[in-house]
Amino acid sequence: MQPSSVRTSSIPNVLSIAGVDPSGGAGVLADLKTFSALGAYGCGVIAALTAQNTQGVAGVHVPPTDFVRLQIDTLFADVHLHATKIGMLGSAEVTATVAERLAHWKAENVVLDPVMVAKSGDTLLAKSAIAMMREALFPQAFMITPNLPEAGVLLGQRGPDTVKEMYRAAERLRELLPVSSERWVLLKGGHLPGNDLIDLLFDGDRMIELPAPRIETKNTHGTGCTLSSAVAALLPQHAGGFRPVEAAVRQARLWLLGAIARSGELAVGHGHGPVHHFHALWPQ
């Protein structure tokens, strides 16, 4: 259980359980920037270490599951966490450990980004962990946020390449989540061809189309991490409002579009650069 005596504050505590990207464009470091930019206090549990930059991944190290468990238990025993974002987990063993501890602590607002492949094309999740993610971690998730290739892997089929196929994929993904409570799928359509993109937000009842213009830039490293962490940061802040999940997702997407549009103000690496997490706070 969460600590019974906790200080009240309007600033939510939000946790990232993910890997570390030394270039800061993805993973825990990007998540913490996102939380900070959107008014949340960020905490982090390290589930994997990577040697990577904007051009590729040179290596992955997965820490012992006992230490992942110790990080989670030590943090939850002290801090009331209002939301948890899950990113790169690396292995089936870590995935199972994270799922078991989140269930133990009854974690709130778990946003699961099923990270499988880096922007460079490098694999970030062992194949053996995919089934474990579906079986053990999906039951803990309030929302899953796959992109189209990830949706294909999770469903054991080719990824959708039309909006019509996205509708069916979103429906099938929702069937993988518990049916007895409010759970959401945010299917990200950034891999669709054309100048426009559409994300789908689905709770098993309402299918909400979220269109956006495509911004031409190579600075798209960590966009998936950043969007899911933005949603996690905003869900507690919209609680009690009108259609809080939809409102949080819409605000997160609008903020991310600004971060992508102003990514050219940064000069980080020679490959796929990061988005500008602090575009709304730093002077242009």
Note if 42 is an active site residue: no
Residue from 42, 159, 222, 273 carrying the catalytic annotation: 222
Note if 8 is an active site residue: no
Note if 224 is an active site residue: yes
Residue from 50, 97, 145, 223 carrying the catalytic annotation: 223
Residue from 33, 85, 119, 188 carrying the catalytic annotation: 188
Note if 95 is an active site residue: no
Residue from 24, 33, 145, 225 carrying the catalytic annotation: 225
Note if 188 is an active site residue: yes
State how far the Cα of 178 lies from the Cα of 201, in Å rounded to an integer: 16
Residue from 50, 97, 220, 226 carrying the catalytic annotation: 220
Note if 225 is an active site residue: yes
Residue from 152, 189, 224, 273 carrying the catalytic annotation: 224
Could you give the residue numbers annotated as active site?
Answer: 188, 220, 222-225
